[in-house]
Amino acid sequence: MNKIRVFLADDHKILRESLVILLSQKENIEVVGAAGDGQEAYRRILELKPDIAVLDISIPQLNGLDLAEKLRVELPQVKVVILTMHKSGEFVSKALCAGVRGYVLKENALEELIECIQLVSERKIYLSQDITGIVVDGFVNNNRENPESGESAVSPREREILQLLAEGKSNKEVSDLLNLSIKTVETHRSNIMRKLGFRHITDLVLYAVRNHMIEL
């Protein structure tokens, strides 16, 4: 029997370990790895190439939605499931735009995650029962067909750097994490500030908090 190979990314250690135990009890599921931040998850998913990556949205260094978008482009065979406490239509639509195949609320994780993983492995889409009534199709189409200036003009790489800067990383620390030159990081930082109309780093931090890229 071919097992479904799963990778977990969540910064809450107790929840992460509990989910590893839960999933490992299923004969057809194998947990191949876990991580507590987005950058580590990104590196290990590229290495391990699991069938399914289960990602929290609010993980440090690289949030789950931006990580999902990177995987959609770089490793499309990996199906992504979002595991989160956010239940608004905005987050669901952003997740679907990023190619996410499953969206499970943490409050329902024990009841729904295994079913979600099994259905997603069969190339189906799974939305947590508590959010199935949210109408997202029109919002998704509008996002794709009518991108706005500002936030949508910020590239995935810039969003990645934005999150790290908002978490308090220095230009040097960002360059080391992403294998970029400090000059390149400085250029990206300037572009981010210009595109979003920010004058101070505090504006960037507040933006990241409002968009759930980081948590204070």
- Pair 137, 78 in one domain: yes
Q: Is residue 154 packed enough to be buried (19+ CB in 10 Å), middle (13-18) or exposed (0-12)? A: middle
* Nearest alpha carbon to residue 63 among 216, 208, 173: 208
How many Cα atoms within 13 Å fall on the side-chain side of residue 194?
A: 7
- The CATH number given to whatever domain includes residue 183 is 1.10.10.10
Type and span of the H or E element at 8: strand 4-9
pLDDT, tens only, 94-119: 888 888 999 999 988 888 999 999 99
- Pair 31, 118 in one domain: yes
What phi, psi does 99 have (nearest 5°)? 90, 10
Residue 192 — pLDDT band, cuts 50, 70, 90?
very high
- Pair 59, 157 in one domain: no
Encoded tokens for 182: 């400090």
- Pair 137, 194 in one domain: no
Domain that holds residue 161: 150-210
pLDDT, tens only, 53-102: 999 998 999 999 999 999 999 999 999 999 998 887 778 878 888 889 99
Give the per-residue pLDDT at 140: 46
- Structural domain includes residue 36: yes
Give the per-residue pLDDT at 9: 96
pLDDT, tens only, 27-51: 999 999 999 999 999 999 999 999 9
pLDDT at 138 over 60: no
Type and span of the H or E element at 161: helix 156-166
- Pair 72, 136 in one domain: yes
Name the strands in the sheet holding 79-84, side by side, starting at the edge strand that comes first in the sequence.
29-35, 4-9, 52-55, 79-84, 102-105, 126-127
Residue 172 — pLDDT band, cuts 50, 70, 90?
very high
- AA identity, residue 10: D
Do 2 and 51 meet the contact criterion of CB atoms below 8 Å apart? no
